[in-house]
Amino acid sequence: MKFYKYHGAGNDFILIDNRQDDIEERIKPELAVKLCHRRFGIGGNGLLLIENSEKHDANMRIFNPDGSEAEMCGNGIRCFAKHVYDHGIIREEELEIDTLGGVKKATLTIEKGRATYVKVDMGKPQVNNLNLVIPVKGGEREMVALEMGVPHAVLLVDDLSGVEVFELGREIRNNQIFPRGANVNFLQRAGENRFRIRTYERGVEDETLACGTGICASGAAAVLLGLADADKPIEIEARGGNIFVETVKVDEELERVYMSGPMEFIFEGEIEP
């Protein structure tokens, strides 16, 4: 079985072409657990499967290292778009990709026949609570609860280096107020329309070097809280690299969020099916 390894801002993925349905539905969760293991498998933050779509260019499935299936993945979909273009599966510079989080449109920048940069229309954020306060160990924390295809909590902090991302992120992620769990993003303002971020991701159950949907959710939260200009690109620095967020605001509502960033092919190989 052929596999490919990619990363977007340090968020790494194993990608397999499953358009022929070689991987049965029942084994996909177990396969993700085995392949994503960093000591006994290939290692990755998720398993991406290319599958057929009845109405659009392709269908992206993503399974987390714990075997759960995620609705969407911002860094993953950029890697997915690069692969299907570079390998001639879909030779178009604009792609419509099915995900459990809805249809996403990806616009590719092509250089020397390869996709080097991808901008994704992430859709309209679903804002659940701009001032959610929940009890945590040591007191209460205020956050923004919203969804970008995936549930997120965004907490503003003064200094990222002092945040216990794993401990606090895990506690918030498992709070009963998030019935499906949530990715937990800690956001620090770094300048005009510039921020730094660290994220605890559900499914990975640890901090990751970047989270695309988390970066989009955090950019949206910054605009809604008046900390960023909706009419200018927002640069967000993750530990694995920088991603840009653009928003479309109508009156007081965000109607659209776009994410742009690079992605890189790492290596490919064969595994026993």
- Options 36, 79, 211, 216, the catalytic residue: 211
Q: Is 211 a catalytic site residue?
A: yes
Q: Is 1 exposed, middle or buried (0-12, 13-18, 19+ CB in 10 A)?
A: middle
Nearest to 44 by CA among 72, 63, 21: 63
Contacts of 124 (CB under 8 A, 6+ apart): 254, 255, 256, 257
Which tokens go with 84? 């299907």
Neighbours of 109 (CB within 10 A): 13
Q: Is 73 a catalytic site residue?
A: yes
Spatial separation of the C-alpha atoms in residues 203 and 180, rounded to whole Å: 11
Type and span of the H or E element at 28: helix 28-36
Spatial separation of the C-alpha atoms in residues 68 and 30, rounded to whole Å: 9
- Options 36, 73, 79, 216, the catalytic residue: 73
Residues labelled catalytic: 73, 211
